Amino acid sequence: MADKQTTFQKASHFFLTKMVVDIAVIIALVVLVEFLRSSLLDKTNLTNDIKAVTTAIIDAVIVVAAYIGLFRVYDKRQIQELNRAKFINNAIMGFLTGILLQTLFILVIYIAGDYSVVRVNQVSTLIAPFAFALTAGFVAEIIIIGIVFRLLEKQTGTAIALFIFILLFAILHIKIKGATFISVSATAMQAGFMLPASYVFSRSLWLPIFLHFGWDFAEPGIFGGINPSSSLTQGLFTSKIEGNSLLTGGETGPQDSLTSLLFCLLLGFIFLELARQKRNLIKRL
């Protein structure tokens, strides 16, 4: 019995098992929140914006709580990567960095003469993009960085984990409609390199979460750009983006431009160099 129990414990604590179980739990909770929205919130007289923000906040809280609970049980440790003491600095840095990056992409397009604002909409149009970006930032980065990358890095080391992530995101985006070599490379640098590198630098999930949040909020919500993962049709600016797809990103938007590729590559290396100086890199033979 002791041998069987030991075998079961080893299997249940294997890093791939942890990934599958924890991702399944978090996805199930997010699906449950969406179900409750459709069965409860959608039957109220609340506006769609209020429903969206309420759902986004619940999603954010529940995935953080689930992550903390799961890994406290699994690892029997304090969850330092979601330390409240690191929240404010990393949240502000991440959110502003995400917005700044999108601003730089748009600035390059504007200087090239390929970006113009057709109409400025009411400030209230920012609510839906805010809710979308909040959910995307928390759910995606808790799963992708907090669970998958963190466990993979612990197993293989930082360099190999980053290489696997870059390759994985490139493969996953090759067949997306409108994909080009530049768009696939840009996505691989953003999601597979820059965001994990921001975690390695800070050893806090708050930084990649809020960087993603600011990024997804600014692109469609402020500048009216295309975001492949969003169905939003209106932001603060109704814009016209036309021109060379190397700068505009073409069908998949500014985040998949050559500018994005270069800036995200540069920022990723900056994060890694700072992480090296802080001795945050994990080495495995």
Return the pLDDT at 4.
52
Return the pLDDT at 162.
97
Decide if pLDDT at 230 tops 80. no
Decide if pLDDT at 149 tops 80. yes
Residue-averaged pLDDT of the chain: 90
Beta strands in the chain (DSSP E): 115-120, 237-241
Return the pLDDT at 11.
65
232 and 100 Cβ atoms separated by less than 8 Å: no
> How far is 210 from 70, CA to CA, in rounded Å?
22
pTM exceeding the 0.85 threshold for the entire prediction: yes
> How far is 17 from 9, CA to CA, in rounded Å?
11
**Sign of the CA dihedral running 267, 269, 274, 280:** positive
Summarize pLDDT for 165-195 with one digit per residue, the tens: 999 999 998 988 878 899 999 999 999 999 9
Residue in this structure with the two tokens 């609970």, named with its chain if needed: 69
Reduced to 3 states, what is the DSSP secondary structure of residue 119?
Answer: strand
Return the pLDDT at 177.
80
Amino acid identity at 89: N
Summarize pLDDT for 65-93 with one digit per residue, the tens: 999 999 998 888 899 999 999 999 999 99
Return the pLDDT at 25.
94
Decide if pLDDT at 210 tops 70. yes
Summarize pLDDT for 94-126 with one digit per residue, the tens: 999 999 999 999 999 999 999 999 999 999 899
